[in-house]
């Protein structure tokens, strides 16, 4: 894995935004896997600025988001559907019909997961997949376990993840207990994985990520097996390396 240690969150975001903008400039029909959470907010802000400056054009880009809470209404301001529109999609010229996010309102979540994988496979996977990492080592909502799903799946969130995400909700009770998440296959078929990591709270999991071992108990560690991963992290996240 290629590692870029940045002086701060701002620099991490600029580098990530620039890599994404270059990808889209070189291949206007890029398929981008987007992620949510606090970490990529700065990247999306910088991408909006690059778009405003005319540097990047999203008109041919297709988006596949990594995950979504389940169940959740799309108009809930904590849904990832809402997050992506608020942080990026409403501010650039990406076409609504090219946006794909697992549907947290689906009547049959298992059918929704199968539909999502079929559609992603029809595009041949993503050109770039943006990822964050949870303190548990989760990627998407693939939490530590003895086995990890290959397919897009309905999964139970761990208590640690519910607690981490409670800050966005009125209380921990309101955090959905499940999510639809791209599985390991969806993530690994990406041609280039861009893993963004910020802050001291992630320092331990970053140390484990670069320990030289892989384990399903730290799903992100499996990224060591992918041939094209760029980890962009700030110096707080890198403090135990």
Binding site for ligand PGA (CB under 6 A): 37-39, 132-134
Encode 96-132: b = buried (16+ Cβ within 10 Å), e = exposed. Answer: eebbbbbbbbbeebeebbebbbeebeeeebbbbbbbb
Q: Which is nearer to ligand PGA, 38 or 74 (CB)?
A: 38
Question: Least CB distance from residue 13 to ligand PGA, whole Å?
Answer: 12
Question: Least CB distance from residue 134 to ligand PGA, whole Å?
Answer: 4
For 237, list phi and psi in degrees, rounded to 5: -65, -25
Sign of CA dihedral 170, 66, 199, 217: positive
The three-state DSSP-derived secondary structure of 178-229 is EEEECCHHHHHCCCEEEEEECCHHHHHHHHHHCCCCCECCEHHHHHHHCCCE
Question: Least CB distance from residue 158 to ligand PGA, whole Å?
Answer: 11
Q: Which is nearer to ligand PGA, 114 or 201 (CB)?
A: 201
- Secondary structure tally for the chain: helices H, strands E: 7, 10
Q: Which is nearer to ligand PGA, 100 or 161 (CB)?
A: 161
Question: Least CB distance from residue 9 to ligand PGA, whole Å?
Answer: 11
Which residues lie below 8 Å from residue 182, measured CB to CB, with a gap of 6+? Answer: 33, 64, 66, 67, 102, 116, 120, 140, 152
Q: Which two tokens mark 104? A: 């947290």
Question: Least CB distance from residue 93 to ligand PGA, whole Å?
Answer: 26
Q: Which is nearer to ligand PGA, 28 or 156 (CB)?
A: 156
Compute the distance between CA of residue 90 and CA of residue 198 in angstroms, rounded to an integer. 25
Question: Least CB distance from residue 26 to ligand PGA, whole Å?
Answer: 27
């Amino acid at each position: 894995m290629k590692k870029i240690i940045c002086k701060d969150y701002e620099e991490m975001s600029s580098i990530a935004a620039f890599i994404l903008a270059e990808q889209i400039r070189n291949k206007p029909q890029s398929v981008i896997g987007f992620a949510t959470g606090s970490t990529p907010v700065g990247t999306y802000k910088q991408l909006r600025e690059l778009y405003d400056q005319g540097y990047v054009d999203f008109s041919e880009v297709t988006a596949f988001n990594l995950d979504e809470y389940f169940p959740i209404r799309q108009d809930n301001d904590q849904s990832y559907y809402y997050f992506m529109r608020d942080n990026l999609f409403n501010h650039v010229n990406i076409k609504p019909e090219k946006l794909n996010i697992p549907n947290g309102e689906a009547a049959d979540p298992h059918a929704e997961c199968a539909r999502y994988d079929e559609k992603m496979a029809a595009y041949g996977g993503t050109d770039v997949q943006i990822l964050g990492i949870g303190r548990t080592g989760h990627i998407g909502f693939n939490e530590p376990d003895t086995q990890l799903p290959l397919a897009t799946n309905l999964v139970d969130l761990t208590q640690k993840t519910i607690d981490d995400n409670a800050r966005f909700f009125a209380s921990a009770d309101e955090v959905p207990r499940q999510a639809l998440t791209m599985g390991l296959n969806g993530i690994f078929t990406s041609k280039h994985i861009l893993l963004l990591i910020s802050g001291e709270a992630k320092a331990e999991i970053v140390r484990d990520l670069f320990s030289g071992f892989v384990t399903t108990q730290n799903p992100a560690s499996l990224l060591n097996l992918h041939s094209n991963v760029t980890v962009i992290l700030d110096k707080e996240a890198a403090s135990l390396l």
